[in-house]
Amino acid sequence: MDIDQIKTFLSVVANGSFLEAANRLYVTQSTVSTRIQRLEAYLGVPLFVRNRSGASLTLQGKRFLRHAKSLLLTLEQARHDIGLPSRFRASVTIGARIALWEMLLPRWISEIRREMPDISIRSDIGFEDDLMRGLIEGSIDIGMMYTPQHSAGLQVEHLFDETLVLLTSDPGRPWPNDDYIYVDWGPGFYAQHSNSYPNLERSAQVVNIGWLALQLMLAQGGGSCFLPIRLAEPWLAAGKLFHVAGSPRFTLPAYLVSARDGDADVLGPILARLRALAEQERQKSYP
């Protein structure tokens, strides 16, 4: 058994198929199959049930999953720790959606660094699929996102609620109009949006990142979209964005995801600080 076999096993689990795992690992499907076969031969049990829809874990595979993540995490930590300068006692990787990094997580990370200067922190940006995959595979220790998936070995907890408001850069123009930019904030937002605007036609512009919608509005000198009010606050205060009168406000929950069996001595204080900072965010009020 080697690290490539463990990474391949976790990639198949995260992606649900040998083919998608091969694509993610940049190897051939036959290479994935060979690695899994050798791992199964070493363990003496079948780990996956193969079918046309993909691959699912056997009972033995589910039991091995926790050990595989621990093995990979131990190997990755060993690799990072060996290369760490002596002033650091551990390293942690934190991944999150870009909207959460905007005007929020940099401040949070700065506070954690001040309180725990002996911890090296790697900060990553990603979408939910990539973040969850990293958490399952053990390459990400802490993830923050809007639509997490539940997976064995991971704990998901509510962090705080974003408030999405409809904003425009041209308050004199009636709404709706052709300059509306639909931001894909996930299925929860889609449901709220559809209930509030059942007859609204598909927008001419659709984006998957709020930051991009903001840049498009500013560049085009017009437009509108739903953004987290905490992100838009400076632009509202500067008179560059305006609320669309009579528009609803939507709730977008943000979640904290971490490994249940993570290093408590390292991750415990960081998670506790993130929860405290999230509580401060929940106490804030925005116009």
100: CATH: 3.40.190.10
pLDDT tens digits, 93-149: 999 999 999 989 999 999 999 999 999 998 999 999 889 988 887 889 999 999 998
Range of the domain at 225: 161-252
Which is more confident, 284 or 25? 25
**If 0-12 CB within 10 Å is exposed, 13-18 middle and 19+ buried, where does residue 272 land?**
exposed
Asked whether residue 240 falls in the same domain as residue 173, the answer is yes
Asked whether residue 177 falls in the same domain as residue 248, the answer is yes
Asked whether residue 95 falls in the same domain as residue 122, the answer is yes
Alpha carbon distance 239, 284 (integer Å): 21
Q: Is the pLDDT of residue 92 over 80?
A: yes
Q: pLDDT value at position 260?
A: 85
- If DSSP states are collapsed to H, E and C, what string results for 60-92? HHHHHHHHHHHHHHHHHHHHHHHHCCCCCCEEE
53: CATH: 1.10.10.10
Asked whether residue 37 falls in the same domain as residue 111, the answer is no
* pLDDT confidence band for 276 (50 / 70 / 90): very high
Q: pLDDT value at position 81?
A: 62
Q: pLDDT value at position 77?
A: 66
Between 34-38, 48-52, 240-244, the lowest mean confidence (pLDDT) is in 48-52
Asked whether residue 165 falls in the same domain as residue 248, the answer is yes
Asked whether residue 150 falls in the same domain as residue 169, the answer is no
Q: pLDDT value at position 125?
A: 94
Q: pLDDT value at position 250?
A: 96
Report which secondary-structure segment, H or E, holds 45.
none
Alpha carbon distance 204, 122 (integer Å): 37
Which is more confident, 1 or 199? 199
Asked whether residue 169 falls in the same domain as residue 246, the answer is yes
Of 170, 145, 169, give the one whose Cα is nearest residue 159: 145
Asked whether residue 98 falls in the same domain as residue 153, the answer is yes
Asked whether residue 151 falls in the same domain as residue 169, the answer is no
Region 162-182: what's the mean pLDDT? 92
Asked whether residue 127 falls in the same domain as residue 242, the answer is no
Region 223-230: what's the mean pLDDT? 94
Of 145, 134, 161, 191, give the one whose Cα is nearest residue 14: 134
Residue 176: is the preceding peptide bond cis (ω within 30°)?
yes
Residue 69 in domain: yes
Residue 92 in domain: yes
Asked whether residue 173 falls in the same domain as residue 212, the answer is yes
Alpha carbon distance 81, 266 (integer Å): 13
- Angle, CA 82 vertex, CA 80 and CA 88 arms, to 5°: 75
Alpha carbon distance 163, 121 (integer Å): 28
Residue 78 in domain: no
Residue 105 in domain: yes
Residue 279 in domain: yes
Q: pLDDT value at position 70?
A: 77
Alpha carbon distance 72, 12 (integer Å): 14
**If 0-12 CB within 10 Å is exposed, 13-18 middle and 19+ buried, where does residue 202 land?**
exposed
Region 261-265: what's the mean pLDDT? 81
Spatial neighbors of 260 by CB under 8 A, at least 6 apart, are 153, 154, 155
Mean pLDDT value across the chain: 90
Amino acid found at 175: W
Read off the pTM.
0.73
CA distances (Å), 167 to each of 21, 202, 215, 231, 242, in order? 40, 18, 13, 11, 5
The total number of structural domains that make up the chain: 3
- Angle, CA 250 vertex, CA 229 and CA 124 arms, to 5°: 60
Asked whether residue 204 falls in the same domain as residue 214, the answer is yes
Q: Is the pLDDT of residue 231 over 80?
A: yes
